[in-house]
Amino acid sequence: MRLNTLRNRLVALITLITAAAIAFVYLYVVPQLESSLTAEKLRRLERLGNEQAPRLAHALESGASQRQVEELVRTTAQSTESRVTLLAVRDQSGGPVPAFVVADSQAEATAIQAR
C-alpha cells in the first residue's frame, strides 16, 4: 500500500488512532478497573465476615457439634456467595497464627497447609 494518496493516508491514520485507543484502554483502564473491582470485593467480604462472625462464634461457644458447625459454615457460604473457612488460631508473640481448619464450605480441605 502506497501512502502517497490521501485515501491511504487517512486509512493509515484512522488505523493508528484506533490501535492507540485500544492500547490505552488495555494498558491503563483495564488494570485500574480490575484493581477497583478487587478492592470492592474485599470490602464486601470484610463486611459480610463481620456480620456473620457472631453467628459462628455463638455456635462454637455454645458447644455445637462438628456437624452443626459445618452446616452453619455451608449456609453462611451460600448466603454470602463466597467460600467460608473457619480456622482455629493460636496466639503467639507475632500475633495469631492459624493452627488448623475447623470447617470449610468446600469439600476439599485446602484452605491452609500446616508448616
Say what the pTM is. Answer: 0.60
Q: Are 98 and 89 in contact (CB under 8 A)?
A: yes
Question: What confidence category does residue 23 fall into, taking pLDDT thresholds of 50, 70 and 90?
Answer: very high
CA distance linking residue 6 with residue 12, whole number of Å: 10
Distance spanning both ends of the chain, measured CA to CA:
64
In Å, the largest CA–CA distance within the chain is: 84
Q: Residue 87: which of 73, 68, 100 has the closest Cα?
A: 100
pLDDT tens per residue, range 50-67: 998 899 889 989 988 889
Q: Are 102 and 114 in contact (CB under 8 A)?
A: no
